Amino acid sequence: MNITCNVIRDLLPLYAEGLAGDDTVKLVEEHLAACEDCRKALQELRAPVKLSADTDAAPLRRVRSKMQKQKTRAIILTALICLVVATTLFGWLTAPEYLPYSIQTIKLTGHENNILSVRFGDGVTGYDINRFPSETGRGEEYHITAWTSLLGRLTGGSHTREVILNPDGEAVSAAYYYTAYGQDHHWLYGEGDENVVFLPRLFLSYYCIAALALAVLLLSAALLFRRNGKAHRALLYVALMPASYLLAQLCIKGTYTTTYAPIRDLSLIVLAAVPIYGLLFLLISKRLKRKDKLCD
């Protein structure tokens, strides 16, 4: 039987890979011995294939750039979360636990030239002294409080200390010791009033109400301008500021909006609000970019 070259070339791949049967091998070899064209075809089939190198590095650069951006974003998110957790933990660890009056807690001592000093005991880790003009117009009135904290007890930070109330010898009309929530106040010196009441600062409540109202207003405006991409984004990013303040308030003070340590509490709230805003900004911007890609 006359076997054509087309039949042999169909069998050459099996022959070259060693997958052909004995009869097929014998048939192919007999044909190759007499056909130079088929021998050349077999050599080309067995020759190694040379792949052209792809010199376009643009796709690789895009992948590398995307991976770098994701890595940077992950690092920033982790750092912001750590800052929020650290600030919140510090706020709870240093939260004042106001001490009731006792000789071991506070002692007022008079010196020459009308100098008065206050001695705080070993259990005190923090104190506050506020000075106000006397209502009688004779000298200054002092409101004193002291506290301990979990961090102070853990670190052994409490120690005896003495503070001069009037280093220049100015007149002292009265001095009171008070604790939180307007209870257990004690008249220490001067023309005291046993009926005096010490109230907490309420300005954190006003800040929370203002922040809530501003956040609602800005979010409502963002919904109205949702078809205007730039305005919508700008309003959302601005709305994150009061929202961050409210979340920071929850982290530092919980649901309490009154304070006897206004500077401390407000400083911690603002400090926590900054990384919270960064977290919200990254999350919202990522979501908006994903939404834009879906729309495209």
The pLDDT of residue 134: 80
Contact present, 232 and 284 (Cβ < 8 Å)? no
Region of residue 184 (phi > 0: left; psi between -120 and 50: alpha; otherwise: beta): left
Enumerate the β-bridge partners of residue 148. Answer: 97
Q: Determine the pLDDT at residue 219.
A: 93
Helix, strand or coil, per DSSP, at residue 52: coil
Query: Please, is 238 exposed, middle or buried when counting C-beta atoms within 10 Å of its C-beta (0-12, 13-18, 19+)?
Result: middle
Cβ atoms of 118 and 163 within 8 Å: the answer is yes
Helices 36-46 and 22-34, packing angle to 10 deg:
120
- Looking at residue 275, its pLDDT comes to 95
The low-confidence residues of the chain, meaning pLDDT below 50, are: none
Report the pLDDT value the prediction gives residue 1, as an integer from 0 to 100.
54
Candidates 207, 187, 182, 225; CA nearest to 265 is 207
To the nearest 10°, report the CA torsion of 283, 286, 290, 292: 110
Would you put residue 140 in left (φ > 0), alpha (ψ -120 to 50) or beta?
A: beta
C-alpha angle 202-105-139 in degrees, rounded to nearest 5: 60
Percent of the chain with pLDDT over 90: 29
Please state, for a pLDDT cut of 70, what percent of the chain lies above it: 89
Rounded to whole angstroms, how far apart are CA atoms 246 and 209?
9
SS3 78: helix
Name the strands in the sheet holding 106-110, side by side, starting at the edge strand that comes first in the sequence. Answer: 106-110, 116-120, 161-164
pLDDT at 55: 60
Residue 135: the pLDDT is: 73
Residue 171: its H or E element: none
Residue 244: per-residue pLDDT: 96
- Residue 262 corresponds to which amino acid? P
47 residue type, one letter: A
Quick one: pLDDT at residue 170?
87
The span from the CA of 270 to the CA of 276, in Å, is 10
- With H, G, I as helix, E, B as strand and everything else as coil, classify residue 127: strand
